Amino acid sequence: MSLPSASSVARPHRKPRLDPRSLALIEASVIPMGALLASALIFSLFLLMLGKDPIRFFSLVWTGGVASSFSIQNTLQRAAPLILTGLAFAVPARIGMTLLGAEGALVLGGLASALIAIPMMLGGWPVWLGLPIMALTAMAVGGAWVGLAGWLRHYRGVNETISSLLLTYIAVAIMNFLVEGVFRDPGSTNKASTMPLGPDWRVGDIPGTSVHWGLATGLIIAALLWVLMERTTFGFSARIAGGNLRAAQAQGLPVGRLAVASCAIAGACAGLAGFFEVAAVHGQANASLAAQYGFTGILVAFLARQNPLAVVPVAFLFGALAASGGLIQRRMEMPDATMLVLQGIIFVTLLTSESLYGRLPFLSVSQAGDRT
């Protein structure tokens, strides 16, 4: 009896194996979306305990955030600073640093841009020259302020999370001291503010919209930083240092310069957000600059997994939450801190979901699909 040939034997079907980059992309999408869903369920229980209707709440979020042209533009307006502050957290996170200093850089950057505008306005400088100088000044001040935390971390061993948080409180104190003191405009009776910018010194809106140019600037910077972190030697070195500091040092990478440069880039992004808050929104520097955009940007970067491109849609999401806050306050008679509670739940849920990476059962099956 002859044995069957090898070609006649049916070969077992093998499942296609996903490559590591595809697995990482699936994880980076599924886990944050699951965290958002879990946050919505937890917040719904919170609303039910208060005797409020969760369905009505989320319908009002939809109405206030994206249901009309007006609400969409309001969302985009609020998302503009969140893109820049989200990037301010995401870039240092690639090198393994946890910085909480975006709020301070935004405040000082906005203050610096408002103060340098005063002599230029009084001196009759051309606007086309003055506005770029204001923006560059804000970026330089913000970059230097957060870069200090990076310098302290590498050269003095000071924990960057603590130092950047303390620097934020110091920045807000400096702003209040100067605005309420020597640089206070005598005409600002209700709220201490600097001298207001003239109409010609305000950043206008994108044509056809009521959204200022800070949004377009944020989109461009997000794309540029993605290229920097994903397609350049600097970004590759930062990822190596963030993954294994000792290995990076053994390979001779300039870890100290990478840390300071990443922090300076982060501070420059936050400082630029402060410039737009002054030149496009408030028209002067005052306590309204400390609007918690820097801290919300941390949540944006966490949900985006520190991906500069993913920061953009996540910033739109939180912009929609902020844009709908007033509508919820009026329609459901809830305090304006309601959205802060929701953000806090999202943050805790995201931190909890970090333990799921590398442990999802269906991804393990995909990895082992060719073993059967």
Query: Does residue 22 register a pLDDT over 60?
Result: yes
Question: Average pLDDT for residues 62-72, to the nearest whole number?
Answer: 92
Contacts of 204 (CB under 8 A, 6+ apart): 212, 213, 280
Residue 319 sits at φ, ψ, to 5 deg, of: -65, -40
Query: Does residue 245 register a pLDDT over 80?
Result: no
Report pLDDT digits (tens) over 134-148: 999 999 999 999 999
| pLDDT value for 25 | 74
| pLDDT value for 364 | 54
Contacts of 219 (CB under 8 A, 6+ apart): 83, 312
| pLDDT value for 29 | 81
| pLDDT value for 241 | 86
Task: Return the higher-pLDDT residue of 228 and 256.
Answer: 228
| pLDDT value for 159 | 92
Report pLDDT digits (tens) over 80-98: 999 999 999 999 999 989 9
SS3 label, residue 125:
coil
| pLDDT value for 190 | 82
71-323 has which CATH code? 1.10.3470
pLDDT band (50, 70, 90) for residue 174: very high
| pLDDT value for 30 | 85
Question: Average pLDDT for residues 161-165, to the nearest whole number?
Answer: 94
Question: Average pLDDT for residues 317-346, to the nearest whole number?
Answer: 90
Residues forming a β-bridge with 205 = 212
Q: 39-76 in b/e burial notation, b at 16+ Cβ within 10 A? A: bbeebbeebeeeebeeeebbebbeebbbeeeebbbbbb
| Domain assignments of the chain as residue spans, ordered by start | 71-323
| pLDDT value for 355 | 80
pLDDT band (50, 70, 90) for residue 366: very low
Average the pLDDT over each of 137-141, 339-343, 363-367 and give the range with the smallest value.
363-367
Q: Report the distance separating Cα 2 and Cα 4, nearest Å.
A: 7
Which of 238, 330, 239, 311 lies closest to 273 in space, CA to CA?
Answer: 311
| pLDDT value for 5 | 54
Average pLDDT score, the chain: 88
Q: What is the DSSP string of 187-230?
A: T--SS-B-PPPPGGGS--BPTTSS-BTHHHHHHHHHHHHHHHHH
pLDDT band (50, 70, 90) for residue 12: low
Percent of residues, the chain, with pLDDT higher than 70: 90
Query: Does residue 370 register a pLDDT over 50?
Result: no
Task: Return the higher-pLDDT residue of 132 and 372.
Answer: 132
